[in-house]
Amino acid sequence: MCLILIIIFITIFFSYKYLGKLGLKLSLILLTILSFIMSFKIGLFFGIDTNISVIPYASIFVLLYILIEKYSAQEIKKDITLTIKTSIFTTLIFLIFISYTQSVNDQVIINIDHLIKLLPILSTFIILPLSILLTTKLYKYFNKINENKYINIIICTIAFALIESIIQSILSYFLVLNINEIMNISLANYLFKIIIIIVSLPFINLMIKKKVIS
């Protein structure tokens, strides 16, 4: 988990350093698609069952806070639209992907249709754009009340991520897991989202101060 997070941060850092805002946009796209792909697996992090997509998913919000702090509201609106469009395209492409008839030999080894399911795709498709929109509004609202942006980021995550994790887990595992298991996963997702955001605060600070190399 730590290694994946470090690689994501290094990618964001260098893509911003050399490509500027385009680098941040590309990182946002990369993380959005990774959230879709990784949502198919539940892993054990420090002995806790969690959907592994929590890593790219939380990183999207790290990136979102960096974007909000660095760019104007109008540019953020463009970036949110971009994420929504990417989500739509990815979802549609995944739907086509599921519909292809897999070769018979391949099915004997691993039937990919057992792995790539519709529910996690749809839940990410619905929840991700909504979360980004609401988090942006919530963060801007907190910024008006309190000047300390780092506290605002933590409050925003604590306040919003729980509802988001529960809805996302219910949508992803509805009728697949029982309610106790779904709640365990959603609470674990919530916990890891908060941890990732808190761990990322120095990185957010670094990125806000960072200048682009032309």
Work out how close the CB of 4 gets to other proteins at its nearest, in angstroms, rounded to a whole number. 5
Closest CA to 143 of 63, 213, 73, 60: 73
The answer to whether residues 12 and 207 touch, using CB atoms and an 8 Å cutoff, is yes
Q: Which of 24, 35, 38, 131 binds other proteins (CB under 8 A)?
A: 38
Contact string (CB under 8 A) for other proteins, positions 66-95, x = contact:
----------------x--xx--xx-xx--
Q: Which is nearer to other proteins, 100 or 209 (CB)?
A: 100
Closest CA to 157 of 65, 80, 70, 44: 65
The answer to whether residues 168 and 36 touch, using CB atoms and an 8 Å cutoff, is no
Q: Which of 99, 144, 145, 175 binds other proteins (CB under 8 A)?
A: 99
Residues 108-127 that bind other proteins (CB under 8 A): 109-112, 114-115
Contacts with other proteins by CB under 8 A: the residue count is 54
Residues ≥6 apart with Cβ < 8 Å to 134: 160
Structural element, H or E, at residue 92:
helix 73-99
Q: Which is nearer to other proteins, 72 or 101 (CB)?
A: 101
Q: Return d(Cα 138, Cα 152) in angstroms, integer.
A: 9
Q: Which is nearer to other proteins, 112 or 167 (CB)?
A: 112
Q: Which is nearer to other proteins, 65 or 120 (CB)?
A: 120
- CB atoms < 10 A from the CB of 157, how many? 24
Structural element, H or E, at residue 3:
helix 2-19
Strands 42-45 and 48-51, sheet pairing? antiparallel
Work out how close the CB of 174 gets to other proteins at its nearest, in angstroms, rounded to a whole number. 13
Q: Return d(Cα 153, Cα 143) in angstroms, integer.
A: 9
Q: Which of 34, 68, 127, 204 binds other proteins (CB under 8 A)?
A: 34
Question: By the criterion CB under 8 A, which residues form the site for other proteins?
Answer: 1, 3-4, 7-8, 11, 14-15, 19, 22, 25-26, 29-30, 33-34, 37-38, 40-45, 49-50, 52, 82, 85-86, 89-90, 92-93, 96-97, 99-106, 109-112, 114-115, 176-177, 181, 185
